[in-house]
Structure 1
Amino acid sequence: MKVRSVFVSVLCCMCLLTGCRQNARQQEDGGNYPLMTLKPEDRQLSVKYSAVIEGKQDVEVRPQVSGTITQVCVEEGARVRKGQVLFIIDQVPYKAALQKAEAAVATAEAGEATARQTLEGKQSLFDDKVISDFELRTAQNDYKSAKATLLQAQAEMTEARNNLSYTEVKSPVDGYAGMTSYRIGALVSASMTDALIRVSDNSEMYAYFSLTEKQVLSLTARYGSLDNALRSFPEVSLELNDGSVYGQKGKIDVISGIIDKTTGTVSMRAVFGNKDKRLMSGGQANIVIPYDRTQCIVIPQGATYEIQNRIFAYKVMDGKAVSTPIKVFEINDGTEYIVEEGLQEGDVIVSEGAGLLKDGTVVSTVREEAAVKEGKEG
């Protein structure tokens, strides 16, 4: 029994040793790893960012004086022009205040004229040495006081006139009127928290989105400055919430240049035309930024492996797989990498299973030619 057990053990060891040798021989021979010869290709990549849509101008219209609404001059949803009257607040008290201010100005003007005539008379008497210097200075002070009273009255009249004009609540911009809950008889004031109505200029729409600090630093390093990066951006697309793509292209026109301390991101803005009024303020969408790369080296991601955030590929040199560090474009489609450094046209690489290879593995030239031939036929 003992002899039989020893015989079985020796037989198992021999089988294992044979298997290991066969595996090692397969690895040295290159196994069944496919190879590919690199050549320049064109690729278009894209990346999406969540965005919030706002109108070019979205203004909350508020009253600047208190009173009761006597007339609503706008229809909800209607097109309005800058300066168009939207609401009228009771004007009676403000007209009365203006009349009172105008009367005060008239009184002050009469007082100023009287004080000026008195001063002129005192000056003549003083020149003839009829009155003392004290009386002349008193007349001068009375005239200055009358002038100040006139200026104050004029200022109050201007304020009263402005307040009367504020009873006509006007649109500050061209755009479309929103909804309002204020009707004739409603009491409003300059301190109210709710707006009377919103006016939105939707002729152009802004889509606000954000990039991470790392992405912005990468752009700065690549283009030298944020201004250069801004000029380099291609036209962008807008993917709406229903999955459709907006018909007009947009342009990124603003990079804030300030990092939000809370989110660690930098805000950006793209502008889109809105002639058909399809875009609405407050909507959600995705900004799609395309990246066109021409005549670039493209390899499968399966041809690479990663160590400590560095990416490597196996280049075939003198019949052996040689581990080669590469630098890839930061944007990819999940299946391929665009190689920026480390590989060039004409290089032969192992196109799959790079994570299972070892540096120095022998790769058959015959297999390489077959793989290339199969790739051409496919």
Structure 2
Amino acid sequence: MLAKSLASRSSLLAATGLALMLASCSKEPEKNKQVPQVGFVVVSETSVPVDVELPGRTAPFAQGQVRPQVSGVIQRRLFTEGQLVKKGQALYQIDASLYSAALDQAGANYASAMASAEAAKAKAKRYKPLADSQAVTQQDYTDAAAAARTSAASVAQTRAAMRTAQINMRFTTVPAPITGVIGRSLYTEGALVTANQTDPLAVVSTLDPIYVDIQQSSTDLMQLRRKLEQGGAKPDSRKVTLMLDDGSEYPLSGTLKFAEVTVDSTTGTVTLRAQFPNPDGLLLPGLFVRTRLSEGKQDHVVLVPQGALSRDPRGNATVMVVGAGNKAELRKVTAERTQGDAWVVTAGLKAGDKLITQGLGKARPGQPVRPVPDSTPEKPMAPKKPGAAPASAAK
């Protein structure tokens, strides 16, 4: 009986020792567990532009078609294709022989009409005193006065015909309608041209400055204006930047000149026109481009680095901040667009919040963290002293 009691007591002591060892081992990980270090930035409110990207096509600032005003054969072309021409500069010479002869004839008719008018006027002048003294009948004087007026009208007609012949003679030299760069000539020397032909002889375009016609959906335009009003955006000077077809950005910025007051019924779009400087002639008419149009400025927003924002399975945007007691806090925010490499947050953050940007993989909502300024190097764990006995063994 005594042996049985001793065996029972030794079993109880062994069980108690085992329990104490397990308790000390379970406390060991908690003692070695460290609070994770996270990097944070203090956010502040700012203003960002509200931009929209739209397609567009370049159009010349001014364009003039070189057209003949008279018919005839082209004798000479007086310009080099692709060069700058000045307004009024001679571009083509049309055969002027017929128009020169017509001008001579008109001049002769004018001279003849002048002579007849002088004679009729002198006759009417002589008949007047004779009619007063009844040396000639009153009818003779009336006929002489009417002949003088008819001759004066004939002079006016022949003078107009002579001016027309002079104008036609001048039109045999075809001038540039505007100052600009002239394109290829559609007619060569020896070609017959007419005053009412469909095709122009050439086209002159003014390319500096140059227009960009932008197409924007009327629905998008109304939605954008509504968002600007709701989001507190303010009007801007509406600068426009240009992206070329190869993806590069045009170095000079433009300005928005006007927007059409009506919507195109076939496409449902509104045409916006921007003007760009083009001193080097890089932009050519008809070029397809992408434009970035500043629609205004949005105040009281927070810029969040893209790596610091994530989305839950429902698509809601969330960030981690350092909350009370240095505990990580998951916070929902409103972020509908980006600005450069950052999200534009319009709700959910305020100035002074500590946004966690580093160590997000170690932070857990509601758990303590050790916040340090962003980009602070993390201190390594202190190495254990060699030969140190574990806590369980010391016991």
Q: Normalising by the residue count of structure 2, what TM-score does the alignment of the two structures yield?
A: 0.65
Match of 2:55 among 50, 54, 68: 50
After superposition, what is the alpha-carbon deviation per residue over 1:315-373, rounded to whole angstroms, capped at 9, x for unaligned?
A: xxxxxx9x99x9x999988995553x99976899xxxxxxxxxxxxxxx9956x86x96
8 A Cα contact 1:304 1:312, kept in partner: no
Out of 198, 205, 210, which is 2:203 matched to?
198
Distance in 2 (alpha carbons) for counterparts of 1:365 and 1:329: 24
Instruction: Note if contact 1:119-1:139 (Cα within 8 Å) is conserved in structure 2.
Output: yes
Q: Which residue of 2 aligns with 1:281?
A: 285
Q: Which has the higher mean CA deviation after the structures are superposed, 290-299 or 70-79? A: 290-299
Name which of 95, 110, 120 aligns with 1:115: 120
Are the aligned partners of 1:301 and 1:336 in contact in 2 as well (CA < 8 Å)? Answer: no
Structure 2 counterparts to residues 232-271 of structure 1, below 5 A: 232-234=237-239, 236-271=240-275
Structure 2: which amino acid aligns with 1:248? L
Q: Who is 2:276 aligned against?
A: 272
Question: Using the alignment, how far apart are the partners of 1:142 and 1:152 within structure 2?
Answer: 15
Tell me how far 1:266 sits from its aligned partner.
Answer: 1.8
- Counterpart-to-counterpart distance in 2, 1:70 and 1:96: 17
Q: How does 1:180-191 map to 2 (within 5 A)?
A: 180-191=185-196
In the TM superposition, what is the alpha-carbon distance from 1:121 to its structure 2 partner?
A: 2.0
CA pair 135-344 structure 1, distance change in 2 beyond 3 A: farther
Change (3 A) 1:366 1:120: same
Q: Number of residue pairs matched?
A: 317
Provide the aligned C-alpha RMSD in A: 4.4
Q: How far 1:143 moved relative to its partner?
A: 2.2
Deviation per CA, 1:57-78, whole angstroms, max 9, x where unpaired? 2222111111111111111112
Say which SS state the counterpart of residue 258 (structure 1) adopts: coil
Deviations 1:260-300 (A, max 9, x none): 22222221111111111111122111111245545425687
CA distance in 1, matches of 2:220, 2:137: 84
Q: What is the one-letter code of the residue matched to 2:269?
A: T
**Per the alignment, do residues 98 and 344 of structure 1 end up closer, same or farther by CA in structure 2, a change over 3 Å counting?**
same
SS in 2 for 1:119: helix
Q: For residues 1-378 of structure 1, what are the structure 2 equivalents within 5 Å?
A: 39-44=44-49, 46-217=51-222, 232-234=237-239, 236-290=240-294, 292-297=297-302, 302=311, 336=343, 339=346, 366=366
Q: In the superposition, relative to structure 1, how do residues 305 and 68 fare at CA in structure 2: closer, same or farther (>3 Å)?
A: same
What is the distance in 2 between the residues matched to 1:48 and 1:296? 21
Q: 1:98 to 1:275 in 2, by over 3 A?
A: same
Alignment-mate amino acid for residue 262 of structure 2: I
For 2:241 and 2:91, the matched residues in 1 are separated by 36
Query: Which residue is 2:35 aligned to?
Result: none
Q: Secondary structure at the match of 1:259?
A: coil
The alignment partner of 1:282 has SS state of coil
CA distance in 2, matches of 1:158, 1:217: 58
Alpha-carbon distance in structure 1 between the residues aligned to 2:223 and 2:181: 41
Instruction: Give distance in 1, aligned partners of 2:269 and 2:251.
Output: 29
CA deviation vs aligned residue, 1:26-61 (integer Å, no higher than 9, x gap): xxxxxxxxxxx9852444553211111122222221
Percent identical pairs in the alignment equals: 27
Cα shift at 1:103: 0.8
Tell me: CA distance 1:195–1:331, structure 2 relative to 1, closer, same or farther (3 Å): farther
Supply the AA of the counterpart residue of 2:63. D
Unaligned runs of 5+ in 1: 1-36, 314-320, 349-363
Residue 105 of structure 2 aligns to a residue in which SS? helix
Q: Distance in 2 between matches of 1:200 and 1:115?
A: 55
Secondary structure of the 2:149 match is helix
Give the greater-gyration-radius structure (CA): 2
Opposite residue 84 of structure 2, the aligned amino acid is: R
User: How far does residue 242 in structure 1 lie from its aligned partner after superposition?
Assistant: 0.8
- Are residues 332 and 245 of structure 1, via their aligned partners in 2, closer, same or farther at CA, if it must alter by over 3 Å? closer
Q: Is the 8 A contact 1:47 1:331 kept in 2?
A: no
For residue 127 of structure 1, report the CA deviation from its aligned partner: 2.8
Mapped to 2, the partners of 1:332 and 1:141 lie a distance apart of 87
Change (3 A) 1:294 1:219: closer
Structure 1 residues 123-156: Cα deviation after superposition (integer angstroms, max 9, x where no partner):
2223334444433333332222212211111111
SS in 1 for 2:260: strand
* Distance in 1, Cα, partners of 2:81 & 2:214: 30
1:241 counterpart SS class: coil
